[in-house]
Structure 1
Amino acid sequence: MSVRKAAMILYRCCWLAFVALVLVDVFADSLVPFGLVFVPAAAAILIGFLVGRRSREDLAKDRPAVEVGPPVTGRWIALNSPADKVPSHGTHGYGQSYAIDIVAEPEEGSRPPFRRLWPVARPNRDFPAFDAPLVAVADGTVVHVSDGQRDHLSRNSGPALAYLMAVEALVRDMAGARRIVGNHIVLDIGDGAYAAYAHVRRGSLQVKAGDTVREGQVLARCGNSGNSSEPHVHFQLMDHPDLDVARGIPFTWRGIGVPANGSAFTAEGAVSPG
């Protein structure tokens, strides 16, 4: 087992210890001093955070950007882009250093806007990204696929987003990478680079582990599984197929580059049904 893998396991164990000790404090006899429970709980989570953070900061340094095709077709908007900051999602964990999120907007204003209060949540069919085809960014081999997690309602309102950030994300992080990325696909595209697609729609997989794919081939459909605020594509390149130990690799999309936050781009090209 690698040091990074062990550190991630320790990180999650410390989170579980923190939750367990806080529950003890809440439900234990009132004669138990608060500090006897909370202090070791806080120490456990601090140690886990520091160890986990250190393991995540080991980037695939000095590696040039890998040029691949875009993972979608049509008009999309970039969010959480590595063109604006690295790590793009605020963490190096799960190989996300150079990850990008994109949302479909076929026409300006066709994507439901964020609401302060109401509606609290929307069905996935309201978002043009939902069920959009995800295509192979290069010729490669399917290393791993994961399916079965539900496509939950959107979290694109004030109350729903607060719930996502304060409660749901914490629980998912304790459960591990699978619950963060939801249904996903990992491709081996050669030269030590792996492409990952997250938040895939349940039941939409058109490939399985071991399959050989061609660039432009449809792999699955965009969904809203995992730690996701709305149907969107989370894409990243990394140096290992295991999200717990992977380090991010910079990418550039052929003909597009790396779109900045809020910028619209159109991905063109033939799509093969496979």
Structure 2
Amino acid sequence: MLLGVWKRHGLIFGAGVLCVVVNKQGLGPLWYTGVALLAVGGLMRWTLARSQGPPRGQVPVPVPVQVPVAGRWMVLNGPGTKVPSHVHSHAQTYAVDLKYDPAPGEADSPAAPPFRRLRPFGRSPGLYPAFGMPVLAPGDGVVVATASRQRDHLSRSSLPGFAYLFVEGFVRSLGWPCHLLGNYILLDLGNGVYAVCAHLRRGSLRVAVGDRVTGGQEIAECGNSGNSSEPHLHFQLMDGPDVMTAHGLPFEWRYRDDGMERTGVPEDFAHVVRVPSRGALAPRPDDSV
């Protein structure tokens, strides 16, 4: 019960903002109430995010999964460069972003529009080669949750757009998971491992809750929904089905980079090309090393 209230810290924070905004009497009961609600909501948010960090003294063993896309993709904001790769909140400790980046002459689609200082504020997501690319299941599993109605918004392709994204991301983080993740698919891979594929294209989901999927099966298309600067895939593993309370789990891929087959997660701005798995998801050790 208490945890359920804690997960709704955004409502308390929002009520505090509302009290402060509508207050017309200066320092008075409504203003003090708003400030108190802001403080309580902020404290609840901080403690909840802090609780999602890795347990002290434990280094989780990476879980082997398949690269959830086909073709050549660039790694961004990944655990191969730093941990946490994003933030601990919403189990994003070991999350990674993937942007489709075909080699010159490899694909018919044009290159992504460049980032500009002032304008345009944003561009249509359809101008980016990642938009509409297939998203694949990272392993055998069962679909336990989905969201598919979030719109694919304009990219944030300028400094004003990026500033807006920063504020927008904070506001989105106060809402339900779909406000941050956009359209997403949550898979139960077994052995206490759950995978999230986020920022999917609206209406592109190929699966529904309860469906069984196999590794490499197309489950959706890459989009630009949720807290996204441009079309890309956000991928993460967790130890539970609730992104607001679970802990992030590290993972490793078998992939090709510059023609060489490797295992692990490359650093930011490196590329990955999917290598089909030779077997099912390996059992997750019960104890961390």
Q: Classify the TM-score, shorter chain.
A: 0.7 to 0.9
1:52 CA drift (Å): 2.3
Residue 184 and residue 29 in structure 1: after superposition, are their counterparts in 2 closer, same or farther (change >3 A)?
A: same
Query: Is residue 2:22 matched to residue 1:24?
Result: yes
Residue 38 and residue 213 in structure 1: after superposition, are their counterparts in 2 closer, same or farther (change >3 A)?
A: closer
Identity in percent: 44
Query: Is residue 2:188 matched to residue 1:188?
Result: yes
Corresponding residue for residue 280 of structure 2: none
1:59 CA drift (Å): 4.3
2:45 to 44, 49, 52: 49
Corresponding residue for residue 95 of structure 1: 91
Corresponding residue for residue 15 of structure 1: 13
Q: Which SS does the other structure have where 2:236 is aligned?
A: strand
How far, CA to CA, are the matches of 1:215 and 1:99 in structure 2? 19
**CA deviation vs aligned residue, 1:160-210 (integer Å, no higher than 9, x gap):** 1111112x2122112121100011001111111011100010110111111
Q: Partner amino acid for 1:191?
A: N
1:53 CA drift (Å): 3.1
1:245 CA drift (Å): 1.4
Residue 36 and residue 244 in structure 1: after superposition, are their counterparts in 2 closer, same or farther (change >3 A)?
A: closer
Equivalences for residues 57-96 of structure 1 within 5 A = 57-59=53-55, 61-89=58-86, 91-96=87-92
Unaligned runs of 5+ in 2: 105-109, 256-261, 278-289
Residue 29 and residue 84 in structure 1: after superposition, are their counterparts in 2 closer, same or farther (change >3 A)?
A: same
How far, CA to CA, are the matches of 1:195 and 1:235 in structure 2? 7
TM-score with structure 2 length normalisation?
0.83
Runs of 4+ in 1 over 6 A off after TM superposition: none
Corresponding residue for residue 123 of structure 1: 124
Residue 73 and residue 34 in structure 1: after superposition, are their counterparts in 2 closer, same or farther (change >3 A)?
A: same
Residue 245 and residue 29 in structure 1: after superposition, are their counterparts in 2 closer, same or farther (change >3 A)?
A: same
1:30 CA drift (Å): 4.5
1:75 CA drift (Å): 0.9
Unaligned runs of 5+ in 1: none
RMSD over aligned Cα atoms:
2.3
Q: Which SS does the other structure have where 2:116 is aligned?
A: coil
| Count of matched residue positions in the alignment of Structure 1 and Structure 2 | 264
How far, CA to CA, are the matches of 1:31 and 1:205 in structure 2? 50
How far, CA to CA, are the matches of 1:183 and 1:59 in structure 2? 29
Q: Partner amino acid for 2:126?
A: R
How far, CA to CA, are the matches of 1:73 and 1:67 in structure 2? 17
Greater helix content: 1
Equivalences for residues 102-181 of structure 1 within 5 A = 102-107=98-103, 110-166=111-167, 168-181=168-181
1:32 CA drift (Å): 4.3
Higher mean Cα deviation, 101-110 or 143-152? 101-110
1:55 CA drift (Å): 2.3
**CA deviation vs aligned residue, 1:75-117 (integer Å, no higher than 9, x gap):** 111111111111111x211111100001111136922222111
Query: Is residue 2:260 matched to residue 1:263?
Result: no
How far, CA to CA, are the matches of 2:18 and 2:96 in structure 1? 34
Q: Partner amino acid for 2:16?
A: F
Q: Which SS does the other structure have where 1:254 is aligned?
A: strand
Equivalent pair of 1:7/1:55 in contact (CA under 8 Å): no
Q: Partner amino acid for 1:99?
A: A
Equivalent pair of 2:50/2:89 in contact (CA under 8 Å): no
TM-score with structure 1 length normalisation?
0.88
How far, CA to CA, are the matches of 2:67 and 2:46 in structure 1? 35
How far, CA to CA, are the matches of 1:36 and 1:247 in structure 2? 35
